[in-house]
Every structure is written in structure tokens, then in C-alpha cells.
């Protein structure tokens, strides 16, 4: 009798597990459908529009333009970030305001563009920081947001929309490289002006607020700010962000894989809580999690991840789509406070960074 009961219990548990799998699969399939709909219906046109507006990248219908390889790369980065965010935030078309979803997609796309511009034109980004600082720290100037634009101007203009003259003046600046005819008077004088005076001059000429990106563009043009692509995180000795089949790429890839392996080894050496926190919360600036990267790059096997994180298959399945975890989710997962998560993350980072700074110096 007892044996039969045990058998029935085992059968029942198996059935429950099977039902749970089916439910999980159905819900996952639904989520996958939501993600795919979101990308096809909403994200695709918004991403293309933002990439076109911000970076002048054009997509042909098949999205395969060999003259602009970075376009496809950026498109994929935005989609990846979006998918990660959607899974984390559990966005559902039916339950969310469409306008909010659109704004959210645009925000992600703009952030990716910002990062790209920052890498490609670091000097312009520095100029933008200086301008924002000028607006923040001088009582006569101000900076404010309208819709998805960051505008600046005299304090008395705060809250206003961009002056229609701004686009015109920028065109003039672009067309007159020597600046002789810009605004018809004192074109050449602009070059001699200090940043504060130049900003004032441009505000005066535009007779109204200017979008900060446009102001950066104007001043970079006047001052002849030139960007020489510098080394960044992704072009550092650890970098692998290279065009496929470029000479030496194999060597770089091997080196990167070796460094990723080294990183994982160092992670495994961390104390238990720091190790788990770092592994679960770490992601690249593109949004991809550390665990996904090392798994897809075959640095580790899935069993090694289970073992290192002392996590079951079901537990990993539950959190996988949310990786990298935010502090709150990580705290729930690790059954601790957000304060402790922050502390463990900070300690692990400090330790690992020291190791990698040493490697980098070598």
C-alpha cells in the first residue's frame, strides 16, 4: 500500500512538473510573441528613424547595406537591449500605453546612439559636457527638456521650443566652412570667441532656444573640433569589436576569449556571495549579461554555471531572461537586502578591477 502511495506521489509530482513545464513554456511562448510583435510593429520603424536622425544611417528594406556595416550592428545592439529590458520589465502591449512603449524604445535607441557617438566622437562629447556645465552653472543660461529634446538658451527662454532659425544657422555653418558669410557679419570673428561668448553669439543669432546637440554641432564646426578615434573599453587590449575578417581578428578573438576565461576564473575565486552577485548582475553596456556571453562564447558550460552559482536548472530558468539582474531582483534571488547586494557587488568589482587594471598595465 505504502509503495503504491509512494509511486502515486511520484507520478503526481511528475505530472505537476510536466504541467509546470507546459505552463512555463506557454507563458514563455506568449512572451516571445509579445517581444517579436513589439520589435516588428513598433521598434523597427522607431529604431530606423532614430538611427537615421542621429547618425544619418539609412536602412534599405532588407537592412543589408555593405557601405554602412555599423548600421546593422547598432540596430542589433538596440534590439538586444530592448529585448533584455522588455523581459526584465515584463512589458505587455495590451497593458501598456502605446505611446509609453514608443518613448521607451526611442529612449533605448537614443542611449545606444549616445554611446556610439561618444566612442566615435569623444571630443564632441566633451564639448557637450562643457556646454551643459556652462548652462548649469551660469545664472544667465538654462537647459531644459521638451519631448525628447534637450534644449538650451538664456534663462528667460526656459521651457520654450527650438528656434526655427537654429536649423538655418547650422546649415549656413555647414555650407560656409570658412565662416566668412555666416550671419553676414563677423563670421571670422566667431572663431576667436571664448566658449561663453560664442554660445551667447549663437543664441543671439538664433533668437531663441537651440537643441544642445545642434549647439554642439555648431560650435564643433566653428572651433574646428576634430575627433581622432581613441581607444575605449571596446578598443582596449581586451577589445574584440572589430569588423569580421579584418586582419589579425583571429588573434584578437583568441586573446579576448582568453581574457573572458581569465575573468570567469577570477569570478570563481571570489567569496560565494560576491561571486553570485557579480555573475548575476553584470552586463556589458550593450545590455548583454556576462552569463549569456560566456555561455554563448563557450567559455563555460551550463553545468559549470550551475555549480559556480550553486543554482538549480529551474532557478536559472526563472531568472535567465532577466539577466543581468537589477539590485532589487538580485536581492530577492539571493534572499538578502539591496544594501548587501550593492556591498557585494562593489567589493567584487573592486577586486576584479584591480586584477584587470594590472593585466592592462602589463
Partner 1 sequence: MTQHISESEMNSFRSGLLPAWETIPFAEHLEICRECSVRLATLRGRAIARFSPSSFLAGKHIEYEAISDYLDDRLEVNDREFIEIHLKLCHICHDDVQSLKEFRESSVPEGVIKHSIRDDLKGIFITIGRTRILNALPAEGTLLILTSLFLFVALLIVLDLRKRSMISSEKPVTTPLHQVNAPPVTTNTATPKGANEVKLSEVIYDKRRLYGLDNKGNSQGIDYLPKEIREDVANVLRGKQINRTLVLDELAETATYLRGHTIGKGDIWLISPVGTLIVEDRPLLKWKLLKGATSYLVDIVDESLNPIAQSGNLLSPEWLVDITLKRDAVYLWQVTAYRDKERIEFEQNRIGKFKVVSVDKLNQVEIARKKYTSHLALAVFYIKVGLLDDARSEMRKLISRNPNSKLLKRIYRREMF
CA separation for the pair 17, 269 (Å, rounded)? 35
Omega before 275 within 30 of 0, i.e. cis? no
Tell me: does residue 234 bind partner 1 (CB under 8 A). yes
CA separation for the pair 2, 8 (Å, rounded)? 10
> According to CB under 8 A, which residues from 195 to 214 bind partner 1?
195-197, 200, 203-204, 207-208
Distance of CA 266 to the CA centre of its chain: 25
CA separation for the pair 74, 115 (Å, rounded)? 10
Using CB under 8 A, pick the residue from 274, 277, 282, 333 that binds partner 1: 282
> According to CB under 8 A, which residues from 336 to 355 bind partner 1?
342-343, 346, 349-350, 352-353
Using CB under 8 A, pick the residue from 49, 136, 188, 272 that binds partner 1: 136
CA separation for the pair 69, 74 (Å, rounded)? 9
Closest to 274 measured CA to CA, from 327, 351, 338, 333: 351
Tell me whether residue 97 or residue 362 sits nearer to partner 1 (CB atom). Answer: 362
What minimum distance in Å lies between the beta carbon of 332 and partner 1? 17
Residues 358 and 294 sit within 8 Å (Cβ to Cβ): no
Q: From residue 162, how far is each of 23, 66, 151, 159, 166 by CA, in Å? A: 52, 36, 7, 10, 7
What minimum distance in Å lies between the beta carbon of 232 and partner 1? 5
Residues 201 and 187 sit within 8 Å (Cβ to Cβ): no
What minimum distance in Å lies between the beta carbon of 240 and partner 1? 4
If one counts every other C-beta atom within 10 angstroms of the C-beta of residue 211, the result is 19
Q: What is the chain's percent helix, strand, coil content, to nearest 5? A: 70, 5, 30
Tell me: does residue 119 bind partner 1 (CB under 8 A). yes
Pairing of β 210-211 and β 149-154? antiparallel
Tell me whether residue 55 or residue 73 sits nearer to partner 1 (CB atom). Answer: 73
Closest to 314 measured CA to CA, from 5, 6, 8, 16: 16
CA R_g for the chain: 26
What region, left, alpha or beta, does residue 121 occupy, with left being phi > 0 and alpha being psi -120 to 50 degrees?
A: beta
What minimum distance in Å lies between the beta carbon of 171 and partner 1? 14
Tell me: does residue 332 bind partner 1 (CB under 8 A). no
Per-residue contact flags (x/-) with partner 1 for residues 147 to 186, judged by CB under 8 A: -------x-xx--------------------------xxx
Tell me whether residue 8 or residue 65 sits nearer to partner 1 (CB atom). Answer: 65
Tell me: does residue 28 bind partner 1 (CB under 8 A). yes
> According to CB under 8 A, which residues from 242 to 281 bind partner 1?
242-244, 250, 253, 256, 259-260, 262-263
> According to CB under 8 A, which residues from 45 to 104 bind partner 1?
73, 76-77, 79-80, 83-84, 87
Q: DSSP readout, 53-74?
A: HHH-----TT---TT-HHHHHH
Using CB under 8 A, pick the residue from 44, 103, 126, 149 that binds partner 1: 126
Tell me: does residue 110 bind partner 1 (CB under 8 A). no
What minimum distance in Å lies between the beta carbon of 48 and partner 1? 18
Q: From residue 14, how far is each of 5, 7, 17 by CA, in Å? A: 14, 10, 5
Give the interface segment with partner 1, choosing from 49-57, 58-66, 169-177, 193-201 (CB under 8 A).
193-201
| Residues that contact partner 1, how many (by CB under 8 A) | 98
Give the interface segment with partner 1, choosing from 23-31, 41-49, 55-63, 92-100 (CB under 8 A).
23-31
Using CB under 8 A, pick the residue from 301, 307, 312, 337 that binds partner 1: 301
Per-residue contact flags (x/-) with partner 1 for residues 303 to 322, judged by CB under 8 A: x---------x--xxx-xx-
Tell me whether residue 96 or residue 266 sits nearer to partner 1 (CB atom). Answer: 266
Tell me whether residue 44 or residue 234 sits nearer to partner 1 (CB atom). Answer: 234
Amino acid at each position: 500500500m505504502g509503495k503504491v502511495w509512494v509511486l502515486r506521489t511520484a507520478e503526481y509530482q511528475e505530472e505537476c512538473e510536466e504541467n509546470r513545464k507546459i505552463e512555463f513554456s506557454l507563458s514563455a511562448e506568449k512572451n516571445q510573441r509579445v517581444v517579436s510583435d513589439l520589435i516588428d510593429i513598433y521598434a523597427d520603424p522607431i529604431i530606423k528613424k532614430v538611427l537615421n536622425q542621429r547618425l544619418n544611417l539609412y536602412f534599405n528594406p532588407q537592412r543589408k547595406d555593405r557601405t554602412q556595416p555599423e548600421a546593422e550592428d547598432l540596430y542589433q545592439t538596440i534590439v538586444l537591449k530592448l529585448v533584455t529590458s522588455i523581459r526584465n520589465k515584463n512589458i505587455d502591449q495590451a497593458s501598456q500605453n502605446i505611446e509609453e512603449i514608443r518613448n521607451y524604445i526611442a529612449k533605448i535607441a537614443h542611449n545606444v546612439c549616445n554611446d556610439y557617438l561618444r566612442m566615435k566622437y569623444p571630443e564632441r562629447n566633451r564639448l557637450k559636457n562643457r556646454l551643459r556645465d556652462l548652462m548649469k552653472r551660469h545664472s544667465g543660461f538654462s537647459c531644459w527638456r521638451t519631448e525628447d529634446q534637450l534644449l538650451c538658451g538664456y534663462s528667460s527662454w526656459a521651457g520654450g521650443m527650438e528656434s526655427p532659425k537654429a536649423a538655418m544657422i547650422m546649415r549656413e555653418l555647414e555650407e560656409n566652412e570658412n565662416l566668412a558669410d555666416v550671419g553676414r557679419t563677423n563670421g571670422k570673428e566667431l572663431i576667436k570667441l571664448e566658449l561663453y561668448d560664442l554660445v551667447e553669439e549663437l543664441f543671439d543669432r538664433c533668437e531663441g532656444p537651440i537643441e544642445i546637440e545642434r549647439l554642439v554641432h555648431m560650435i564643433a564646426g566653428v572651433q574646428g573640433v576634430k575627433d581622432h578615434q581613441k581607444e575605449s573599453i571596446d578598443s582596449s587590449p581586451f577589445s574584440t569589436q572589430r569588423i569580421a575578417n579584418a586582419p589579425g581578428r583571429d588573434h584578437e578573438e583568441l586573446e579576448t576569449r582568453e581574457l573572458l576565461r581569465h575573468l570567469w576564473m577570477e569570478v570563481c575565486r571570489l567569496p560565494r556571495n560576491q561571486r553570485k552577485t557579480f555573475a548575476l548582475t553584470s552586463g556589458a553596456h550593450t545590455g548583454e549579461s556576462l552569463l549569456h556571453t560566456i555561455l554563448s562564447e563557450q567559455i563555460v558550460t551550463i553545468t559549470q554555471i550551475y555549480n559556480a552559482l550553486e543554482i538549480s536548472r529551474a532557478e536559472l530558468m526563472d531568472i535567465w531572461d532577466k539577466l543581468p539582474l537589477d539590485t532589487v531582483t538580485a536581492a530577492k534571488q539571493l534572499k538578502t537586502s539591496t544594501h548587501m547586494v550593492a556591498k557585494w557587488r562593489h567589493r567584487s568589482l573592486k577586486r576584479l578591477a584591480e586584477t584587470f587594471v594590472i593585466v592592462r598595465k602589463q
